[in-house]
Structure 1
Amino acid sequence: MTLTLSGTSAVKAAGARRPIGVLVAGALLGLVVLAAALAPLLAPYAPDAIDLSSSLVGTGREHLLGTDSSGQDLLSRALYGARTSLVAPLLLLAVAGVLGVTLGVLAAWCGGWVDTLVSRLTDVMYAFPGLLFTVLIIAVFGTGTTTSVLALGLAFTPTIAKYTRSLALAEARKPYVDAYRVQGMGGARICARYLIPNLGRSVLGYLVVLFGEALMSLATLSYLGFGAQPPSSDWGLMVQEGQAAIVQGAMLPALVPGTAIALVVVCFNVVGVWAADRLGRQ
Structure 2
Amino acid sequence: MNPGQQVVPSGLLPTRTWRRRRGAGRRATTVPLSVLACSVFLGAVVLAAFFAPLLAPHAPDAVDLGNSLAGTSSQYLLGTDVSGQDLLSRVLHGTRSSLVAPLILLILATVIGVTLGTVAAWRGGWVDGLLSKVTDVMYAFPGLLFVVMIVAVFGQGITTAVLGLSLAYAPTIAKYTRSLALSERSMPYIDAYRVQGMGGARICVQKLVPNLGRSLVGYLVVLFGEALMSLATLNFLGFGAQPPSSDWGLMVQEGQAAIVQGALLPSLVPGVAIAAVVVAFNIVGVWISDRLGSGK
Q: Does TM-score exceed 0.5, indicating one fold?
A: yes
2:27 alignment partner AA:
K
Aligned residues: 274
Q: In structure 2, what is the Cα distance between the partners aligned to 1:273 and 1:67?
A: 36
SS of residue matched to 1:248: coil
Distance 2:231 2:285 in 1: 18
1:153 is the counterpart of 2:156: no
- Of residues 187, 208, 212, the one that matches 2:225 is 212
Task: Report the residue type matching 1:64 in the other structure.
Answer: L
Q: Is 1:104 aligned to 2:117, yes or no?
A: yes
| Unaligned stretches of 5+ residues in structure 2 | 1-22
Higher-strand-fraction structure: 2
State the match for 1:40 in structure 2: 53
The structure with the largest helix share of the pair is 1
TM-score by length of 2: 0.90
Mapped partners of 1:101, 1:239: distance in 2: 34
Q: How does 1:55-94 map to 2 (within 5 A)?
A: 55-94=68-107
Given candidates 112, 121, 144, the residue that maps to 2:157 is 144
Residue matched to 2:148 = 135
Distance 1:10 1:266 in 2: 36
In 1, Cα distance between equivalents of 2:102 and 2:214: 19
| Distance in 2 of aligned mates of 1:163 and 1:38 | 36
Cα distance, 1:63 vs. partner?
0.4
Separation (CA, whole Å) in 2 of partners of 1:12 and 1:152: 41
1:136-169 superposed Cα distances (whole Å, 9 cap, x missing partner): 1111111111111110010001110000000000
Paired residue secondary structure (1:17): strand
Corresponding position of 1:26: 39
1:202-241 deviation digits (Å, cap 9, x = unpaired): 1122101111110000000000000100000000000000
Question: Who is 2:19 aligned against?
Answer: none
- Which letter maps to 2:230? S
In structure 2, C-alpha distance between the alignment counterparts of 1:253 and 1:199, rounded to whole Å: 43
Q: Which moved more, 1:63-72 or 1:197-206?
A: 197-206
- Is 1:242 the counterpart of 2:249? The answer is no
Distance 2:91 2:120 in 1: 43
Q: Secondary structure at the match of 1:228?
A: coil
CA-atom RMSD in angstroms: 1.5
User: Which amino acid in 1 is paired with 2:70?
Assistant: V
Query: Structure 1: any 5+ residue segments left out of the alignment?
Result: 1-7
Q: Which residue of 2 aligns with 1:5?
A: none
- Give the Cα–Cα distance (whole angstroms) in 1 for the partners of residues 279 and 223 of structure 2: 12
Trace 1:126-275 onto structure 2 (pairs within 5 A). Answer: 126-275=139-288
User: What's the % identity of the aligned pairs?
Assistant: 72
